Structure 1
């Protein structure tokens, strides 16, 4: 487990402990109680030194409890005991307790010494390392940066501590995957480091070179680290034992199995002298042995011999994985392969997750081996064990996510654990293919759902939870205040960094403000969770919508199609596309094996559709697009053509598919002998299509009845004379170009829907914020500025503010998140409103997400920069068909087909009309006029029938 080994596993925490024990000692006192406090503290030190961390915890707690009675809760005399208590908790793997203690130590420093005192560095450095062990590398990086800022208040006094902190920052960058910056930081930190720090940095540099596939440099720097440790501490030091673990993990990854086994044995000989067999360190030893047997190639001259040797190796590996699980848990002791530790039994969630994932992979490999030998009974049993083990891994991921407050941390977790959900779905497919049992298809869909937009779903749940969780308005207002200020400072920090000569003092100030406010926000969230159980229960419920629930809610004309993609890589030439097709009475679960051609086709179609040179499309480009679009159709939909006939499609894309409108796919082999965009067999000619981030969001959160007072609120700034210099984006440094057709667009719309329209200089941001919650339809026809670095700061450009206004005319995604909308539909007719950064496991981080979060269940958005005039006409037709009672996706499809039918050869190019898509609820907003005609006819028939009865009765009388 390479990335979790560092100075932090060293018992004395890289020298920090001695600093606390010597610099911040309690003063002697004649008072007996004071002497007792000192006695408890010193006894804690003694027990800590011999590795009795439980005893040390007890003594430090006694010192703190008695000290609070004598000196008060925030006395400076409690600081050393608090920090050392946190270190002892860390060594016991009790990370949440350690965090709580460090936060108390932080309060002590701030109460006694102020908010800029260097003593805070020790607290923040320790907190950063705890968050590293918890797997929250974003928070770890933030705390290490805060520690460095505090130390730099007195750089001469804390020279060695600054060196340690810089090395921790370099490691945090490595763990976040920023290898270029990490290696620069590591080499910078080397310049003023002692041997102890150098050994750590050499090990870190080796790990970075490994990630960059530079294996000679990897070996070189590991050997440098081992050499320093051997000379400095001897051949049996625990530092060396920990580094042997790291090195053997590297050797396993590059396939040097014999050497890896030797170093694992060396590590075990040392580790057992210092740690028990119930420790993370011993768990890592067992994990290395397991990975040795999993990975090594058995030598065999005959296939039967290979089969038996490989099976024996896999079973040995499983035995060691089980030992690793036992070592990584305080109470778990089962050696049975079908057992895993229960939630809460693990010492470290992130370490346990790695072991369980590896065990699941081993069980799947054993099942594959049985299947290749036609032993279907044992194959099924092993696949089922792999599935239950992977399910435990997904539960751990959810458990870890609940401990992360920041969205950035949740995104990082989603991206790095996406492979766990892909494995889960893959095992479900193998079981479904083997047994044809429907339960495995249902379970596969459940895993696919849990992999989709988990952080966004958590945010939506959090928003809903606050509405009925009993949280007082005063606390909610405090939360809004903190979130707003965090957002403002982050944006100022981003903009300052865009300047040619950024002001380092301003950057330092903004970083400090973001850190301090984020700390306050996290502590407020902790109050929510601990004091309001209803809020907590709803927020962290780990349920997704099931197949049967979807089938109950969709119409006979609807089919839901969800994808999960494992892209091919340099290490793995073939990828997989898993597909779930749900209709009211069927579930189809299938898999397509794809290679790099599949990804290439996605990129080819996207580049063709979004190219700014669409006016100059050549025959070769036309042919390339047409062939790629048809090949994508063959992979994604062709096998389901019969099931999907006469259906409306709800598509839940994955990975790069989120950038493509499925309308662009071609359902038949195209004729490429001539270039004719009007006659291509676009999918829009066969289906109405809408999209959603996940089925759970669509069917559990995106339903809404009309509650707004008014119908339409539309904005159309013209930008005439608008010289605003938005310097973060070079495209807009000369000001915003006018959009001549947007006035025409909103006038068209107003002809079909009653409401209020604000054009030109009246299209102000403050007015939108003031009015938006009162309207059923929001229509925004304007420029968009996309920020791929910080997606929450992508912006809608309203008119340049006039007068003394607080708003700046830029409505960013983060501000939209804080709104409370009653609209049933938002039409973002601005350019690129559906584009943005692709976040693995979350989807495209677009402006549209903000409107969904704010309560608007349906979004019409654009995937690229739509041409002004054609966009206006498509929107006109969209509202025309919408007003006749068509559903949103049907209305948009009809508008696109009308464009194709009426366009000249040039404007039939897909760039003009394909960019608009519907996301979320696509139900009609209005009853069509046809229904009223039917009701009138029905009424006339009823009247005629009654009249005939009356006449017959009168004739009899």
Structure 2
């Protein structure tokens, strides 16, 4: 994205007349002086002299406090100026702090200053954009838009300008269609200066979509309009040339690109801009051109030599760009621990990526030689990628909103992959274990979820001095946001939504989100122990994971890197004695096998399966076994396996992989197939860190379970997201919970008693939660996926019978196991870093370390049989994953081939902590044996003693 010198949005300081009238001459003089100081500071800010501007804004503030006291409307402009100065200096948290003070003092005006608040919100949104918290930025921009439309009745030009900020956020979120919709709706109404920005954003989007001619037309429109507004020699014209030159380089039009870049350079020389962003952008594009410059040499060695020279030279340009943004010159992971002071975090990350990519290319050119250049280039690439990874991790921890965390991880996924790729290259050549650790660390970061952050934050809170009252406030705010978000989603989904209600919900969500942000900043500022723990590097290394494993346990973590040309599968195999790191290149058959397996097993028409489809399933299941397990057969060797999947691998139960391919010339007998489950116990986790961070406290002698089994009425429907969905009766779940109650002590809520209200009032008291009910997955907004309890007529969203993921987030569960024995439970949207988690993610987030869930709709009879057996095995002291495995095998042995279809029994998976809940019967037998032996020993001792007495007589 090119630079936008959009001063009215990035540095909006409005000087307001002082309303006081006083006969005191000193008062009048001070008022005039304060006003002049603000003007001087504003002028310095326009000249990019932000440190000097900051000092003078503080002078103005102190003088105004002398006149008006510590709280007054007339302080707001000075606070605003201080915030803008800190923003321009890269001190984003300080900027937010002073923007908050500005808002507090604006609110003291006799008439609420809506225009000033709009400008303030745009500035705050810009700060959150810089912090890579795009969701929060969007909220502020949308709130500014709402105020402009509803309170100020602003002209269409102003509305269009605010909409540009919103469109840009959608572009950054890779929602290009939404951005296009906003641009087309506002372009013609915008001020000419804003039209330039709209044209350039259009050009970026069309280029991404591959519509090159449309992209070029819009770049030309932007240049022509900029020249018409400013003349040929103006820095804004130079910026338009810079943006256009990137387009030309990307499309291999190097001659014209060089000419265009030269035009930009000439303008920069003539205008001498003090804006560091312009200079950084120019250096970046010079480096980009140098990197991609075509080489005429035909001799391979000459080609390599010239290419390396270009890459080294390009990195010099990129380093100049970093220097302009105040990035440390001799950077390292240890030296770059914070993001404050950087003029643009995103631009710094992009420049660092370019440097690392170039070093990686140099290493590839020298890979056959393995000389000093190769070694140094690999080292430089890895070091630079590490800094990028750390910056992303830091930015993610500073974000409060869960969806924003997930979005940032998704947007930066390619960075984590690149680090894993180059680490593998370095490891294969050097055999240095540190490269395995680096690759593993970034595999874990790629899989990091809001769940892991929640656990880390909770540990920080538990080990710091934060008062309970503040923790309760955080919980209350999270509950408020969850309830309002559900209401807003439902209202937006109606065929005729109520615009007044939507406005009301948006306002309330906005205010609650702001209060949560303020609370987080307060906790970090006032409780240093919490701050230190929150931002500490608490992730486990591969060796630390290894130390936590028993002799019979092994962890296999997969990283699936899909590109347009090939798919790479990286695997970390961690046992308690060794760690292996490997790579496979996969073809299209691998992806086809995943889709074939999942579609076959989850097909609702499973009763009408054709033998040909069964054969294809067998071929696919065996193909995946050969790719995913067979290469590690020596390491696995009948150990208990924990699978940490990635991407599409999250959709398949590894239990179903076939060790041997059956004779496909005859009818497939499902109960005779050699499934992996016959020899191995398989558990799953989102990440190794999540697995070991969230462990059960240990076995108990007394376990309390609670089960919910609603009874849906024939023909009953509910409205979810504007659609009416059928609540098909599930007669089997009533029997299921009754059978479970015969095995373990269980409090049952069934039929009309299986309400959301009863769940909310009881869930936190029990060790096991068993939920046998319908679940509705929201693929577009997984946080609003919901469980359907017995339906009530209540308008209160906490009692209406639909419990969504956002609600579950705000529970503080004591449960050690949650079983989601529900219809359609796990088929949520596949999300990078989150896997199959949708509803299950909510229970992890709420503190439950272990989930048993179904990947597809469960058939009543088989589900009841498997669940009953599972609890029997659990009661006998078996581990959770082993209990589930034995239950499945018991089912498989008890049915014919038709009922052994994978759909019936392979859907349940064990995720998270797999340790036993109950003491084993063997333990009780051992105690009894010891008591018996002790009794025998005592009896013998008494007998011997008596015998000796008799002999003595």
TM range (shorter): over 0.9
Given that 1:183 and 1:205 are in contact with CA atoms closer than 8 Å, whether structure 2 keeps it comes out as yes
Q: Which structure carries more relative contact order (alpha carbon 8 Å, separation 6+)?
A: 2
Pick which of 91-100 and 406-415 moved more. 91-100
Query: CA separation in 1, counterparts of 2:889 and 2:702?
Result: 33
Is the counterpart of residue 910 in structure 1 residue 902 in structure 2?
Answer: yes
2:561 is aligned, of 552, 557, 566, to 566
Query: CA separation in 2, counterparts of 1:353 and 1:918?
Result: 38
In the other structure, the counterpart of 1:792 is 783
TM alignment of 1:652-691, pairs within 5 A: 652-673=644-665, 674-691=667-684
Q: Measured at CA, do residues 190 and 779 of structure 1 come closer, stay the same or move farther in structure 2, by a change above 3 Å?
A: same
Which consecutive residues of structure 2, in runs of 5 or more, have no partner in the other structure?
none
Query: CA separation in 1, counterparts of 2:700 and 2:469?
Result: 27
The C-alpha deviation readout for 1:581-605, integer Å capped at 9, x for no partner, is 1111010110111234333322222
The C-alpha deviation readout for 1:83-114, integer Å capped at 9, x for no partner, is 34444444444433333332222222222256
1:37 is aligned, of 34, 38, 51, to 34
Given that 2:356 and 2:381 are in contact with CA atoms closer than 8 Å, whether structure 1 keeps it comes out as yes
The SS at the match of 1:628 is helix
Per-residue deviation at 1:231? 1.9
2:760 is aligned, of 769, 793, 799, to 769
Per-residue deviation at 1:274? 5.1
Per-residue deviation at 1:48? 3.5
In the other structure, the counterpart of 1:575 is 567
In the other structure, the counterpart of 2:3 is 5
Q: Measured at CA, do residues 371 and 206 of structure 1 come closer, stay the same or move farther in structure 2, by a change above 3 Å?
A: same
The C-alpha deviation readout for 1:301-357, integer Å capped at 9, x for no partner, is 111111111111121122222222222216x345x9999866456332222111111
Query: CA separation in 1, counterparts of 2:712 and 2:724?
Result: 15
Query: CA separation in 2, counterparts of 1:104 and 1:803?
Result: 41
Per-residue deviation at 1:15? 10
The SS at the match of 2:731 is coil
Is the counterpart of residue 409 in structure 1 residue 408 in structure 2?
Answer: no
Q: Measured at CA, do residues 45 and 431 of structure 1 come closer, stay the same or move farther in structure 2, by a change above 3 Å?
A: closer
Q: Measured at CA, do residues 505 and 855 of structure 1 come closer, stay the same or move farther in structure 2, by a change above 3 Å?
A: same
The C-alpha deviation readout for 1:531-576, integer Å capped at 9, x for no partner, is 112222222222211223222222211111111111122xxx1121
Q: Measured at CA, do residues 122 and 24 of structure 1 come closer, stay the same or move farther in structure 2, by a change above 3 Å?
A: farther
Query: CA separation in 1, counterparts of 2:111 and 2:554?
Result: 61
Is the counterpart of residue 737 in structure 1 residue 734 in structure 2?
Answer: no
Pick which of 71-80 and 54-63 moved more. 71-80
In the other structure, the counterpart of 2:207 is 210
Is the counterpart of residue 193 in structure 1 residue 190 in structure 2?
Answer: yes
In the other structure, the counterpart of 1:859 is 851
Is the counterpart of residue 320 in structure 1 residue 320 in structure 2?
Answer: no
In the other structure, the counterpart of 2:363 is 367
Query: CA separation in 1, counterparts of 2:455 and 2:922?
Result: 37
2:416 is aligned, of 410, 413, 421, to 421
In the other structure, the counterpart of 2:448 is 453
Query: CA separation in 2, counterparts of 1:476 and 1:934?
Result: 45
The SS at the match of 2:812 is coil
Query: CA separation in 1, counterparts of 2:333 and 2:715?
Result: 67
The C-alpha deviation readout for 1:139-185, integer Å capped at 9, x for no partner, is 22211111111111355554432221122222222122111121121
Is the counterpart of residue 758 in structure 1 residue 776 in structure 2?
Answer: no
RMSD, aligned α-carbons: 2.7
Given that 1:798 and 1:810 are in contact with CA atoms closer than 8 Å, whether structure 2 keeps it comes out as yes
Per-residue deviation at 1:950? 7.4
Per-residue deviation at 1:706? 5.5
Is the counterpart of residue 72 in structure 1 residue 69 in structure 2?
Answer: yes
TM alignment of 1:311-710, pairs within 5 A: 311-329=308-326, 332-333=328-329, 343=338, 344=340, 346-372=342-368, 374-569=369-564, 573-673=565-665, 674-705=667-698, 710=703
In the other structure, the counterpart of 2:134 is 137
In the other structure, the counterpart of 1:229 is 226
The SS at the match of 1:152 is helix
In the other structure, the counterpart of 1:152 is 149
Query: CA separation in 1, counterparts of 2:672 and 2:302?
Result: 60
Q: Measured at CA, do residues 348 and 766 of structure 1 come closer, stay the same or move farther in structure 2, by a change above 3 Å?
A: same
Given that 1:708 and 1:773 are in contact with CA atoms closer than 8 Å, whether structure 2 keeps it comes out as no
Pick which of 319-328 and 107-116 moved more. 107-116
The C-alpha deviation readout for 1:725-763, integer Å capped at 9, x for no partner, is 22427462x4x2211111211122122212322221122
Q: Measured at CA, do residues 508 and 580 of structure 1 come closer, stay the same or move farther in structure 2, by a change above 3 Å?
A: same
Per-residue deviation at 1:273? 5.0
In the other structure, the counterpart of 1:850 is 842
In the other structure, the counterpart of 1:264 is 261
Q: Measured at CA, do residues 126 and 558 of structure 1 come closer, stay the same or move farther in structure 2, by a change above 3 Å?
A: same
In the other structure, the counterpart of 2:863 is 871
Given that 2:9 and 2:123 are in contact with CA atoms closer than 8 Å, whether structure 1 keeps it comes out as no
Q: Measured at CA, do residues 25 and 116 of structure 1 come closer, stay the same or move farther in structure 2, by a change above 3 Å?
A: closer
2:168 is aligned, of 163, 171, 175, to 171
- Tell me the number of residue pairs that the alignment of Structure 1 and Structure 2 aligns: 942
The SS at the match of 1:719 is coil
Given that 2:18 and 2:31 are in contact with CA atoms closer than 8 Å, whether structure 1 keeps it comes out as no
Query: CA separation in 2, counterparts of 1:504 and 1:909?
Result: 50
Given that 2:622 and 2:658 are in contact with CA atoms closer than 8 Å, whether structure 1 keeps it comes out as yes
Query: CA separation in 1, counterparts of 2:119 and 2:500?
Result: 23
Q: Measured at CA, do residues 440 and 680 of structure 1 come closer, stay the same or move farther in structure 2, by a change above 3 Å?
A: same
Query: CA separation in 2, counterparts of 1:176 and 1:879?
Result: 44
Per-residue deviation at 1:209? 0.6
Query: CA separation in 2, counterparts of 1:402 and 1:102?
Result: 22
Per-residue deviation at 1:33? 0.7
The SS at the match of 1:796 is strand
Query: CA separation in 2, counterparts of 1:99 and 1:240?
Result: 32
2:738 is aligned, of 740, 747, 764, to 747
Pick which of 758-767 and 560-569 moved more. 758-767
Pick which of 910-919 and 280-289 moved more. 280-289
Given that 1:135 and 1:350 are in contact with CA atoms closer than 8 Å, whether structure 2 keeps it comes out as yes
Query: CA separation in 2, counterparts of 1:686 and 1:708?
Result: 30
Given that 1:456 and 1:842 are in contact with CA atoms closer than 8 Å, whether structure 2 keeps it comes out as no
Per-residue deviation at 1:366? 0.9
Pick which of 357-366 and 342-351 moved more. 342-351
Given that 1:824 and 1:857 are in contact with CA atoms closer than 8 Å, whether structure 2 keeps it comes out as yes
Pick which of 714-723 and 298-307 moved more. 714-723
Pick which of 308-317 and 867-876 moved more. 308-317
TM-score by length of 1: 0.93
Pick which of 248-257 and 418-427 moved more. 248-257
Query: CA separation in 1, counterparts of 2:531 and 2:247?
Result: 41
Q: Measured at CA, do residues 323 and 750 of structure 1 come closer, stay the same or move farther in structure 2, by a change above 3 Å?
A: same
The C-alpha deviation readout for 1:206-252, integer Å capped at 9, x for no partner, is 01111111111111100110011112212221111222222222223
TM-score by length of 2: 0.93
Given that 1:414 and 1:842 are in contact with CA atoms closer than 8 Å, whether structure 2 keeps it comes out as no
